[in-house]
Structure 1
């Protein structure tokens, strides 16, 4: 019963004792967020999106790298509680317009098409109600050639997420089906901590047109 309750709260923390416990747990787990940000190779002028940002540790890591005026950081989380926690933590950055946070599901991201350079998320894709819909929506907001990094703590997945489809294969398949390329998974070790990272790039439609148009005109 305890594991089941924790699993539910990890997927969508609420403003309860259980949600507070999950928040405290996530706040001790900042290495994964920091590692995902590092692997994204965020540039100072990039537009970046984090999904499932939780208490905002990854947001804090990412916004420090966005030193140019064009650099923007967006976040989307399904938990109203986590949205409120992170909004308070990044209040100054939100007030300047550098950071914008949204409360809601991954399959409805309030951004225009092809605006994001980097996407990252940690330990959350297995909570999405529809993998294909979520991946398709992320692909919609990414620029052609943009990079997404997914970080997964396998130990946590096998111990706390029983009953969820945490295995990366269905997720990677959904990425390929929705227009991602160069999808690969790697074991990573950063600062003595190990985890799995999945990399995926948004398909470059322009390069496809460059191959097709000359053939049509020949």
Structure 2
């Protein structure tokens, strides 16, 4: 599962077009494989993540120990519905195979929107094993206040990309 999510995560981060100086948030980072990739993609930026599992936080912290020590990566225990970050903090946000297990998907998306900068981009990626149907995700992200939502699909994965309205 970690390998499948890592491959999907690499694809999603490519779709997100992360810039080297951006601040990026991953919601539901699991063992921290995508966090590790993101930290390399944003050498002049910052990577933060939140996960509801203490075990995953510990694994991800171990995997990303050097980047955490140098202040480049910050990983926290918590939920998508109550993000411990200030408004307008992130240029990009992503979640891989996680939205379908949030207690309240709509509230989680609204919280992500709150912590994103105007013009920031979000990507929600899913593998075929996620249990998340392709239908309805675009509508959920639009209902949370994002614009320019679109679905990108492969045989194995799908991703919904959208933008927080405003200058950017």
TM class, shorter-length: over 0.9
> Which residue of the partner structure matches residue 10 of structure 1?
none
TM-score norm. by structure 2 comes to 0.93
Q: Does 1:122 align with 2:96?
A: yes
Q: Does 1:32 align with 2:8?
A: yes
RCO comparison, higher one (Cα < 8 Å, 6+): 2
Match of 2:159 among 179, 182, 197: 197
> Which residue of the partner structure matches residue 80 of structure 1?
54
Q: Deviations over 1:3-59 (max 9, x none)?
A: xxxxxxxxxxxxxxxxxxxxxx31454211111111111111100001111111101
> Which residue of the partner structure matches residue 42 of structure 1?
18
The CA deviation at 1:171 is 3.2
Q: Distance in 1 between matches of 2:114 and 2:5?
A: 30
Number of equivalent positions: 168
TM-score norm. by structure 1 comes to 0.73
Q: Does 1:54 align with 2:30?
A: yes
Q: Cα–Cα, structure 1 residues 170 and 29, in superposed 2: closer, same or farther, change >3 Å?
A: closer
Q: Distance in 1 between matches of 2:80 and 2:127?
A: 20
Higher-Rg member (1/2): 1
Structure 1: gaps (5+ residues): 1-24, 208-218
Aligned 1:156-175 pairs, distance under 5 A: 156-157=129-130, 161=131, 166-175=132-141
Q: Deviations over 1:167-213 (max 9, x none)?
A: 24333222212210011112137xxxx31111011111x59xxxxxx
Over 3 Å off, 4+ runs: 168-171
> Which residue of the partner structure matches residue 103 of structure 1?
77
Q: Point out the structure with the larger helix share.
A: 1
Q: Cα–Cα, structure 1 residues 168 and 137, in superposed 2: closer, same or farther, change >3 Å?
A: farther
